[in-house]
Chains A and B, each alone.
Chain A
Amino acid sequence: MNKHKYLWYVGLITALIISFVITSAIGSAGISAWTAVAIILSKLPLLGNVIEPSWASMTETIIWQVRVPRNLTAMLVGSGLAVAGASFQGLLRNPLADPYILGISSGAAVGAALALTLTGVFGSIVFGVAPAAFVGAMLAIFLVYNLAKLGNRVAVETLILAGVVVGSFMTAVLSLLLIRMYSNLHQVVFWLMGSLGKGGWEGLTWSALIMLLAIVGLCLLARPLNLMAMGDTVAQGLGVSTEKLKRIILVLASLVTALAVSIAGTIGFVGLVVPHIVRLLIGPDHRALLPLSAFAGAIFLLWADTMARVILAPSEIPVGVVTAFIGAPFFGYLLRRRKPI
């Protein structure tokens, strides 16, 4: 069994690297694949000195300043959402859980809409959209946790219900904001549909670091998460401090989701579908599920974003539309495929 797992790791990591290289060569600008590869290689510390630049300066700008950071963002957001989705599915013992189930996306949307509205009202940027979305998301999860808490414990079923409550409320606030600032409607709607095009290299640094640390943290909690699947009482009997674990996983998964949403808007289906696909392939053991979901999520979003960039070139579809188009039918297929008990 272990040998098989290693094969999966090697396979997915290789697929990720190849996907990254290929998708960096595809785009509306029509740059040849070899040039793209050469440009990327030339930026590497050692290899770089060997390669002679034989391309236009604008080509290098397009590849290195626009496509590469965008693809790195896609990989980051994809892996974050997939791991968060898998964690929530394990924590909440609910196969329909996705990273947004606890009202995080609605909170982030309110934050973003508020930032865009204030920018529109004052004519210049009051809060950045990304930080505002992050604050909104964390506020939502804070409300959800406190709403669901009973004494010192929180039942996972109550968490989901609290998520629905907070999510609905935030959506109502969002609707109010949208209608009051009608002129900004298209900006907020565009943000809601998800886009990986913002930020460039600057957008990546801090968020990337924190997200990677949180993802690693979640992967390390795989074993207790396995035990949680058997119920709180059994897990406690086996030595898991369930309340502490719930809190840590909630914090880490929400952090990852909030960062992902603040960078890229609300991209759906990645957190829902990717863990299920990986589970189909390697089983429900979280020790393998979480890390492999991270890689699979990165590959998934990388290709989804490439399709979003290329299908209607030079126009771009929001990547959330592509993930929904792929994810929803695939999920339907998964449902059909279950064997009768």
Chain B
Amino acid sequence: MKSVSKYIAVMGFAAFAFTSCEKQFGETNTDPTIVTKPDIKYLLSYSQERLMTYNGGEWIWEGMEQLFRFTQHVTASPYEVTGNVNGRYGVYYSQILPNLFEIRRQISTLPDKDQYQKMQEVTYIIQALHGIKVTDMNGSIPYRDAIQGRYETNYSPAYDTQESLFDTWLAELDQAIGVLSNTSLSNQLTYGNSDIFYGGDWTKWVRLANTLKLRIAARLNNQNAAKAQEIFKQVMQNAIGPIDNDDAQLKYTNANFSPFGNDINYRSARYGSTSIINFLKAANDPRLPVYFESNDLTGSYEDTLAKYSTTLPAFINPADPWIKFQGAPADWTTNPGVAGYISNAFAVGNTNPGNTVSRYFLISPINRHFFSPRYNGATGNYTDVLVTNAESCLLVAEFIEKGYGNGIDTKGTAEDWYKKGVTSSIKTMNAIAVAAQSAIGFSGNGDAEINDYLNGPEVAFNGTNDLERIYIQQYLNFYRNASEAFVLVRRTGYPRNSSTYYAREPFNEQIPRRWWLTDPGEVNRENWNAAMTEQGFTPNAQDIPTLSTQRIWYDKNAPEFGQGQ
């Protein structure tokens, strides 16, 4: 009997132990490092940070290797387009949009949601900011049905046409401008420091939204000039207006980040093209030493040349005060003689006893520390300006020059906005160089140098080709934004092939005008196929000839590269 009761006691104990343990299972299976109700400000910082820092791969595989060669800002060995381009697409849906949608969803569950109206509108501006960039190279993309997998279980979003995307974004930007400018809304909360774009300053957000509307107008111009004009007038008549001062630029500084690191020469080093360096030299542009590194023709090279009675190759003018900056052809096959000096130094001297051979590299590389301040162990700090004051001002100048400002107060002439934009570009680029500890164009406030530049014959308005001058200054300003540079060159056809002011160099390579979207698999293949067919795209085609002839909607009427009107 003793043994049986022992047996019962053990069973009873075991049964008791089980039931109390089960209740703890829920707690055991919950990761203590996660929460179910987040603070939305941390979610905003995440989306913003990802938008600003995903671009390492994009610079290496797309910006430097492809887009800047097509625009002819740089010249480099022509590698073929790889599947690593179009990084902007995936990051939009996986890293940027989800948190922004979640912020709005969290706000809708709060009892005091009315105090979050302004915080909510900011999410739409960020969606448009990156969305415009995504459609620039892809055409139709999902937007209205996107990001509905987590809560609405919609895994097959339809693709919105580019025209409807712009309509949606214009409406969202207008609503945002309305709410954010509304000073009579009470007790509005802000993101404070968690807003790493503008620190919660609503006015700056409104300016950004207006400038984004100008970006859209520039893209719509070839399809619907009347609509572009209407948008321009709205922006100029808005109480706050677009970005028109350097403080309101969308700036990102981060000592611990650099998109390139030491990979700025990945696969091939980049150099200045002949056209850009020649123009910067001719105009005495303070940005020349900021953008490009000097070649080896510094110091006592002249003595060495004299000692060995050697003259420099014909394409270099020995009396050029800017001799230390030389460009190379954008397409190496058009001038192999000069292009050869990219990889091969110019040798002076001989190996006879008592003599030496000096090797001089003649072509100026891009200023690597300007792009990558920690390159090779350097200690500079990274700055990026995603939406510049210069771009905003020069867009206004462009629209006024095209006559879109007739009948409204444009707060200055085209020339006024032009000078403002150019000044801002020079000052901003110099400030980036100062922070990066790379070569600067001027010390002090630069007013004297900028004044000389603005009054010089290469820059000042002359009544003949003012619009071209505006385009070229936009072009020079986009030296840190390959994506916008490509859109400019694609929509305007400038620099022009036959220009006497700033000529596009001959380029024998076929240039793609968009990227491609791969088959998304059985779940959404139907919608994707429909979108490809609607745009006249061959699904699955990834070859350059197809990508250069099948255009996205707003590009359909644009001129060929180099054939601007």
Asked if chains A and B come from one complex, the reply is no
Residues of A within 8 A of B (CB): none
Residues of B within 8 A of A (CB): none
